[in-house]
Amino acid sequence: MIDFHVHSDYSADAKNTMKEMAASAARRGITHLCFTDHVDIGHKHREFARFPNKEYITEEFAEASAKSKVNLYLGLEIADNFRKRDIIVSELKYWKLDYHLLSLHMVDGTDCYDARYFQRRPREKTYRLYLEALLESAVNFPDYDGFAHIGYCGRYAPYLPKSENPLRYSDGEDVIDEILKTLINRDKALEINGSGLLRGSVTMPETTILRRYRELGGENIITGSDAHRSIDSGKPIRECYELAQSLGFKYVCRYENRVRFMESIEKALE
């Protein structure tokens, strides 16, 4: 099974080394694991707003790979920011990665984990702004492989009951269709992010959006735990595979040197 979204301690909000993340994933039946540490240029917390030290991370990755039972890959979770896009893209040219995971955390300069993002406007408008920013990113970011956690705006949303928080297809059918069609036309992979499953919530994107992606002809899904601690590494992946299978998907992607490979879901679940 494939887990192509984990954070090592090269991310400011993560706790464990690459070796620890890999050992834990191996125990959960993960065969392919990709480190996607944070780069969030323009973020107000400076520890996120820079690339990891290339020399250190490459060296540690090589060491972890040499001893790992799991096939390891090096990527980055590249948080888009249209105001800083030129800087992000020009720095990426100096990196040789297996996987570019594009994500979006900030809408209009505010991270959706910040309670202020949800103030002074109704839920409908708040989610709409997120979706519009996401579409702009999917269309205009020049160089990525996978598209992370559609629905991130719902992860820290304050609405009650909590079951109201996940972003669903009904929250913006027109924009969501445009995002999904963009990913299909640009031949990108749609991430099924399982981190919500660890907290009793749902995947990102939520099932109604995944179903719509399938209806539109989307086939390229990629699974990620988004684990920030070794105890979560690989943990929700089996459940993501089962969900994908129930929706009619046959394969999960992974990337090596930016080239896509496919794994049969049926075989992986045997």
**Contacting residues toward Zn ion, per CB under 5 A:** 77, 103, 226
Closest contact distance (angstroms) between CB of 149 and Zn ion is 6
- C-alpha–C-alpha distance, residues 253 and 219, integer Å: 9
Closest contact distance (angstroms) between CB of 137 and Zn ion is 12
Grouping H, G, I as helix, E, B as strand and the rest as coil, residue 2 is: strand
- Number of other CB atoms surrounding residue 64 within 10 Å: 22
- 60 versus 77: smaller Cβ distance to Zn ion: 77
- 206 versus 226: smaller Cβ distance to Zn ion: 226
Q: What is the rounded (10 degree) CA torsion for 124, 125, 128, 130?
A: -120
- C-alpha–C-alpha distance, residues 1 and 22, integer Å: 13
Residue type for position 267: K
- 77 versus 98: smaller Cβ distance to Zn ion: 77
- 153 versus 253: smaller Cβ distance to Zn ion: 153
Closest contact distance (angstroms) between CB of 217 and Zn ion is 26
Residue type for position 87: I
Strand partners, 6: 35, 227
Q: How far is residue 58 CA from its own chain's centroid?
A: 21
- 50 versus 214: smaller Cβ distance to Zn ion: 50
- Number of other CB atoms surrounding residue 218 within 10 Å: 18
- Number of other CB atoms surrounding residue 106 within 10 Å: 21
Closest contact distance (angstroms) between CB of 266 and Zn ion is 28
Closest contact distance (angstroms) between CB of 29 and Zn ion is 21
Q: Which of 28, 17, 4 is nearest to 229 (CA)?
A: 17
- 23 versus 112: smaller Cβ distance to Zn ion: 112
Closest contact distance (angstroms) between CB of 14 and Zn ion is 9
- 231 versus 269: smaller Cβ distance to Zn ion: 231
Residue type for position 232: D
Task: Give the burial class of 144: count Cβ atoms within 10 A of its Cβ; 0-12 exposed, 13-18 middle, 19 or more buried.
Answer: buried
Closest contact distance (angstroms) between CB of 267 and Zn ion is 27
